[in-house]
Amino acid sequence: MGKRINSGVETFTEKTTDYRKCMFRMKQKDFHFHLKEVKAVKFKGGTKHGFIKAMICKALDDEGHYYLTEKEFNNGREADIYDASIDSVIEIESNCTPADRKKKIKDFGKSVKEVYIIDPVNWPDNYEKVYNKAKDEFCF
């Protein structure tokens, strides 16, 4: 199993859809969560934000990924989506300045393999197009 140690938090270099491995990854993050929260979509923000988040989560779910939404990390930062299958954070952020982007990557980057920051304005409004774009970008 490929893994690396970063800031004392074990992260992983391979995708997995194995339930036990994903639960282990989530527990390594010191999240406080109930099993009913796994693969459940929680919403904050506007309509487009929620739509994009729902389509990303549907694509992840269809590909067998395990994820949590609106989860707070130890440093107090809350992730829109934490994907345990690829140990990554997906942030949906409108009007994200380069400084905001750099801060988010710094905040989450110490405890996950990858941080994706997407602007919902750059995503289509069509269900099928958003779903396909989510699959292409996050389900590899």
What is the torsional sign of CA 69, 2, 108, 94? negative
User: Is residue 38 exposed (0-12), middle (13-18) or buried (19+ Cβ within 10 Å)?
Assistant: middle
Q: Residues 87, 111: contact at Cβ < 8 Å?
A: no
What is the pTM for the complete model shown? Answer: 0.79
Phi, psi at 107, each rounded to 5°: -65, -45
Give the pLDDT of the chain (140 residues) as one tens digit per residue. Answer: 333 333 333 444 567 888 888 888 888 777 777 777 777 777 777 788 889 999 999 999 999 999 999 988 877 888 999 999 999 999 998 888 888 888 888 888 778 888 899 999 889 989 999 999 999 999 87
Expressed in angstroms, the distance from the first to the final Cα of the chain is: 18
95 contacts 122 by C-beta, under 8 angstroms: no
Q: Do 116 and 90 touch, CB atoms closer than 8 A?
A: yes
